[in-house]
Structure 1
Amino acid sequence: MRAMTDTTAIAPPPAPQTESASGSRFGDATGLKNMQQLIQLRWIAVVGQVATILVVHFGFGIRLPLDQMLAVLAGLAAFNAASQLRWRIPRDVTNTELFIALLVDVGMLTAQLYLSGGAANPFVFLYLLQVIIAAVLLESWSTWTMVGVTIACFAGLALFSEPLPLSTDPGQGLFRPYVVGMLICFALVAALLVVFITRISRILRGRDARLADLRQRAAEEEHIVRMGLLASGAAHELGTPLATLAVILGDWRHLPHFTSDPELLEEVIEMEAQVKRCKTILSGILLSAGEARGENSEETTVSTFLDDLVEEWRTTRAANSFAYENRFGHDLPMVSDSALKQMICNVLDNALEASPQWVGLTAAHDGDALTLTVSDVGPGFAPEMLAQFGKPYQSSKGRPGGGLGLFLVVNVARTLGGSVTARNRPEGGAVVTLTLPLAAITLEEDDEENDGHRP
């Protein structure tokens, strides 16, 4: 057969969408994930502040208003506990909600700094961390508002708070309380920035990869649309002359000149058969281009559909040996879809071309999916073809337009919500596995009451 992580870091917000009354909603789980990260960071801040207050008060002998500072911490812990309960159930998180959560953090930090030296407190530079988090998580207007709020808080602390009696003796060197506080604040901000920026970069790379995959899918769908237009044009152009030939050949069959000559009559009948086959090929081209004709659909079952498909394929192909095993085991109703039939036949044809001596097909019921495994004993896939499996024009057949069969197979399966995988067998040959969700191909009970057609 031929050419065919979880992270807990704070994630950047997606592109802004249409704003609702409460702010712009994120289209995925990024907003909720960011809010949960803020909750985790707030618990770390509560523990860190308790430790810092106790060390400064009892270790350095610097008198702090413990009752007031611990009351602020109790308020922060209560707010965080309420937030954790609120955001335990998955739901959308707006930019405004994230902004309010960060404003609460800034307010609590300002209260603690006011009670412990104001602008002279070395931990005042934690405001920068709040601004950086806002720049990562929030929209532009929210970030600039946060910048203004933190500047106002810093200015207010400088104007209204009273500095702590800290030692300024230069002989203490590194052990001066202010220098120790600055060192701890610098190390904390630097470490958090390294951790967050590294994780955010990894998330951005993952997002870029997903966007690249979406762009690739869009390009493939556009390619299919172009193929469908070309196929439709060809069908319209060739349909009329083929119909004319069919009428002429039908008339010839009744002319005395042909009826009196068995050999000529046989040739006319053969020509009629070939014209009919050309019409069938045109229909197949339309199906491959995604223009399945619903008028040919009929109600059947999964097992019957597969058995009939295999019987028709076996009688029209010159396979030396074909092994078919139907292990589906459930007689579920479905509609005989010509596009699905064409997709399976494309995989079988590709296997037969690579391995005329033997082709195998196994059908199985795997959970809520139908699994079709096509095997052969041919040369298998080249590594570069496996890496580009399902991409258009990836073929080793060396002819123009090659490689479209599996490309269409992959896209039809993806349209049904399924998948197609390929691998080489250790003993030689290749295996292509089609996994199709039963919900996409079978009929539900209420569908059967409507003459077997989906509503």
Structure 2
Amino acid sequence: MSKPHRRVRWLPSQWPADAAGRRNMALLVQLRWIAVAGQVATILITHFLMGIRLPLGTMLVVPSIAIFMNIGSLMILRRRTDIAHAELFLALLFDVLALTTQLYLSGGATNPFISLYLVQVALGAVLLHRWSVWGIVAVSSACAAMLAFVHRPLVVSGALEGHLFDLHIVGTWICLTMIAVLLVLFVTPVSRNIQERESHLARLRQQAAEEEHIVRMGLLASGAAHELGTPLAQVAVLLGDWRHMPQIRRDAALLEEVEEMEAAVMRCKAILSGVLLSAGEARGEAPQVTPVRDFIEAIAERWRAANPGAGLRCDFGPHDYPRIVADPVIRQALTNLLDNAREAGATCINMMVGRDREWLHIAVRDNGPGFSPDMLADVGKPYRSSKGRQGGGLGLFLVFNVARKLGGRIDASNGADGGAMVQLRLPLSKVALEDEEGDGDVG
């Protein structure tokens, strides 16, 4: 039975890497809160302390509308993982019109705070597409031109009467300082959000290229397996005929060699069947279900048989392990890790298994030379090999892609006392049939 759907409420630290629109809308909301506070403070100071009569009721309506706008934006942000470009454009357009209304009620173009239009244009240049930016520029310019002719004039009386120009100079300085501070505070994180989105898109493009590479390798391996199947079958038939030839049956040495050749052919056929199975073919049989311990020990036993003399030890933490689906790709991934350790010159390999509530941890540690700094920086990329062999580096590349397909991850490091360690983490929700409570980790 599927679990009931639950609406997720995202915290800022949990936003997806590509939700740059959402982060940018959150910054606009913060900027609007500052604008509301600044407008209310400026209106009250100007009206009550400086003695410049303003239409208080009308001017306070604009920040009230902005407050409701912010509340609505926050409600949308709690339920959405990203914000459309058109929504950012409308948000900036609202701020331009709100500023225009306040300027109209407080002197129009003679108000030094008219330069705040530049903040909206700068944000639009960073956030919006080209046509949208020019839309903000056109609306801001039209509003500024209108305010030169249509506005409510300021009425200055008392001690400030006759000092309107001095007030304009002071206001211009305050406005320019505000613009500089706001641009630093908000354009910088907006640019960072855009850079993170571009980096995320670059990672997606690289992942797509790697997956295409994997598909091509799978097709090549599958084709080679099919092509090799026919001559291997012919060799198996010939060896079967040789076994029954009188001259070979009378010679014990020849008969033993034929039997060894038959065993080698059978092993080649088993390897080709595994290649086809990993490539997605020949999967008519039901998937095998086995306990984790049995699965790992079977891999180790098979690898020891193929690599006589290599030292391999399996360590299991004191945990209860669930049953898993013995996917051949996991088996092949672990075999690749063991093969890489042996080919790197390790004489002692330790495969450590542990688990916690969410993850199955399988680490392969060896006493070889370890990874070089350059190799650690490029680990998991195709054709990055520490063995200096042409065409090498595909083993770890395949392991990384297996982990990624299953929702897991790979960590590669060097041990404090030498040697390399590669840790495979697989989500129990993807590989286990039952998930008993467990704790602990690979030491």
| TM-score normalised by length of structure 2 | 0.84
* Aligned partner of residue 363 in structure 1, secondary structure: strand
Equivalent residue number for residue 324 of structure 2: 334
Deviation, structure 1 residue 44: 0.7
**Are 2:417 and 1:427 equivalent residues in the alignment?**
yes
Deviation, structure 1 residue 370: 0.8
Equivalent residue number for residue 114 of structure 1: 104
Matches within 5 A, 1:26-425: 29-90=19-80, 92-165=82-155, 176-286=166-276, 290-291=279-280, 293-295=282-284, 297-327=287-317, 329-425=319-415
Deviation, structure 1 residue 32: 3.0
* Aligned partner of residue 431 in structure 1, secondary structure: strand
Q: 1:438 to 1:104 in 2, by over 3 A?
A: same
In 1, distance between residues paired with 2:316 and 2:73? 54
Deviation, structure 1 residue 236: 2.6
Equivalent pairs counted in the alignment come to 418
Q: 1:411 to 1:88 in 2, by over 3 A?
A: closer
Deviation, structure 1 residue 141: 4.3
| Farther-moved stretch of structure 1 (394-403 vs 236-245) | 394-403
Deviation, structure 1 residue 235: 1.8
In 1, distance between residues paired with 2:233 and 2:209? 36
Give per-residue Cα distances to partners, 1:71-107, cap 9 Å, x unaligned. Answer: 4333333443444345444455334433333333223
Deviation, structure 1 residue 361: 1.0
Q: 1:198 to 1:99 in 2, by over 3 A?
A: closer
Deviation, structure 1 residue 285: 4.8
Amino acid corresponding to residue 129 of structure 1 in structure 2: V
In 1, distance between residues paired with 2:250 and 2:165? 119
Q: 1:49 to 1:319 in 2, by over 3 A?
A: farther
* Aligned partner of residue 267 in structure 1, secondary structure: helix
* Aligned partner of residue 276 in structure 1, secondary structure: helix
Task: Judge conservation of contact 1:300–1:334 (CA < 8 Å) in 2.
Answer: yes
Deviation, structure 1 residue 284: 4.8
Give per-residue Cα distances to partners, 1:207-253, cap 9 Å, x unaligned. Answer: 33323322322222222222223222322322211111111111221
Amino acid corresponding to residue 34 of structure 2 in structure 1: I
Task: Judge conservation of contact 2:22–2:81 (CA < 8 Å) in 1.
Answer: yes
* Aligned partner of residue 160 in structure 1, secondary structure: coil
Consecutive unaligned residues in structure 1, runs of 5 or more: 1-6, 12-25, 446-455
Deviation, structure 1 residue 287: 6.1
Deviation, structure 1 residue 143: 3.5
Task: Judge conservation of contact 1:389–1:422 (CA < 8 Å) in 2.
Answer: yes
In 1, distance between residues paired with 2:110 and 2:268? 88
Deviation, structure 1 residue 304: 1.9
Task: Judge conservation of contact 1:298–1:335 (CA < 8 Å) in 2.
Answer: yes
* Aligned partner of residue 280 in structure 1, secondary structure: helix
Deviation, structure 1 residue 364: 0.6
Amino acid corresponding to residue 252 of structure 1 in structure 2: W
Deviation, structure 1 residue 291: 4.4
User: What is the Cα-based RMSD across aligned positions, in Å?
Assistant: 3.0
In 1, distance between residues paired with 2:389 and 2:74? 61
Task: Judge conservation of contact 1:375–1:431 (CA < 8 Å) in 2.
Answer: yes
Q: 1:419 to 1:257 in 2, by over 3 A?
A: same
Amino acid corresponding to residue 67 of structure 2 in structure 1: A
Amino acid corresponding to residue 406 of structure 1 in structure 2: L
Give per-residue Cα distances to partners, 1:316-346, cap 9 Å, x unaligned. Answer: 3234533211227334232222221111111
Task: Judge conservation of contact 2:403–2:424 (CA < 8 Å) in 1.
Answer: yes
Q: 1:40 to 1:234 in 2, by over 3 A?
A: same
| Farther-moved stretch of structure 1 (46-55 vs 134-143) | 134-143
Task: Judge conservation of contact 2:299–2:331 (CA < 8 Å) in 1.
Answer: yes
Deviation, structure 1 residue 427: 1.0
* Aligned partner of residue 433 in structure 2, secondary structure: coil
| Farther-moved stretch of structure 1 (229-238 vs 370-379) | 229-238
Consecutive unaligned residues in structure 2, runs of 5 or more: 1-10, 436-443
In 2, distance between residues paired with 1:233 and 1:60? 86
Give per-residue Cα distances to partners, 1:342-370, cap 9 Å, x unaligned. Answer: 11111112223335431111111122111
| Farther-moved stretch of structure 1 (59-68 vs 268-277) | 59-68
Matched residues, percent identical? 52
Q: 1:173 to 1:321 in 2, by over 3 A?
A: farther
| Farther-moved stretch of structure 1 (263-272 vs 189-198) | 189-198
| Farther-moved stretch of structure 1 (422-431 vs 216-225) | 216-225
In 1, distance between residues paired with 2:361 and 2:276? 26
Amino acid corresponding to residue 294 of structure 1 in structure 2: R
Task: Judge conservation of contact 1:395–1:403 (CA < 8 Å) in 2.
Answer: yes
Deviation, structure 1 residue 268: 1.3
